[in-house]
Chains A and B, each alone.
Chain A
Amino acid sequence: AQSVTQPDIHITVSEGASLELRCNYSYGATPYLFWYVQSPGQGLQLLLKYFSGDTLVQGIKGFEAEFKRSQSSFNLRKPSVHWSDAAEYFCAVGDVGSARQLTFGSGTQLTVLP
């Protein structure tokens, strides 16, 4: 069965600093990977996704993620964090064959200090 681990429950960074959120997955075949962001009281918004091709994926709001098969990782990065990036971030893995279901990680809460 597929699974996703986000080892950091909570991360605090200063505005303008760089950010990396970790995501490790377990899946038997080529995974279909996502990062979502959830602001308080809101639904999940798709930041970016990977299912083939270039392992460095660009997303919205200046985010990017790199797929590393050897490490089973799909870490999310941003070179300079803005106060509006404070939110909860979820990594998810789906089935390339069916792309029907997503399995979500437990999320990482990001706090941005002024």
Chain B
Amino acid sequence: DAGVIQSPRHEVTEMGQEVTLRCKPISGHDYLFWYRQTMMRGLELLIYFNNNVPIDDSGMPEDRFSAKMPNASFSTLKIQPSEPRDSAVYFCASKMRGLSGGYTFGSGTRLTVV
């Protein structure tokens, strides 16, 4: 199992540009989570999906952020337009159904908006 795969690992973009982050969860996992990590705010849950359906997006900071999960093996987090304060590491994690399933995190995407 290759684990949770995120791409790109690093992204540098100019303010105002659209940014798309990608995630491939572990096969068979029913839940997918997007987290953001910054020095100031730590790890924040942005949104999570269950069986490809968005369940809670209350952590999405603004309308500039959107997330989709068109199928069980792929999710995207999009920021349009991007701003310097969006600079952070974005993590995707997946989890199987049930209490015994732990969360598996990807290696993250480090986003820098200049």
Contacts and interface: CB of A to CB of B under 8 A. Distances in A.
Given A43-B91, A90-B43, A101 B105 contact: no
Given A42-B107, A101-B48, A106-B42, A32 B91 contact: no
B45 A46 contact: no
Contacts of A103: 45
Contacts of A101: 33, 45, 48, 56
Nearest to A51: B99
Contacts of B103: 34, 44, 46, 102
Contacts of A34: 102-103
Contacts of B101: 99
A99 B32 CA distance: 12
Given A99-B98, A99-B99, A100-B31, A43 B106 contact: yes
Contacts of A18: none
Nearest to B43: A104
Given A90-B43, A100-B31, A106-B42, A49 B102 contact: yes
Contacts of B66: none
A5 to B, nearest CB: 12
Contacts of A42: 107-108
Interface string B69-108: 0000000000000000000000101010011111111111
B13 interface: no
Interface residues of A, number: 22
A44 B91 CA distance: 9
A45 B45 contact: no
A45 B104 CA distance: 7
Contacts of B33: 101
A100 B55 contact: yes
A31 B60 CA distance: 25
A102 B93 CA distance: 11
A38 B42 CA distance: 13
16 contacts: A42-B107, A43-B91, A43-B107, A44-B91, A44-B93, A45-B105, A49-B102, A90-B43, A99-B95, A99-B99, A100-B48, A100-B55, A104-B42, A105-B42, A106-B42, A107-B43
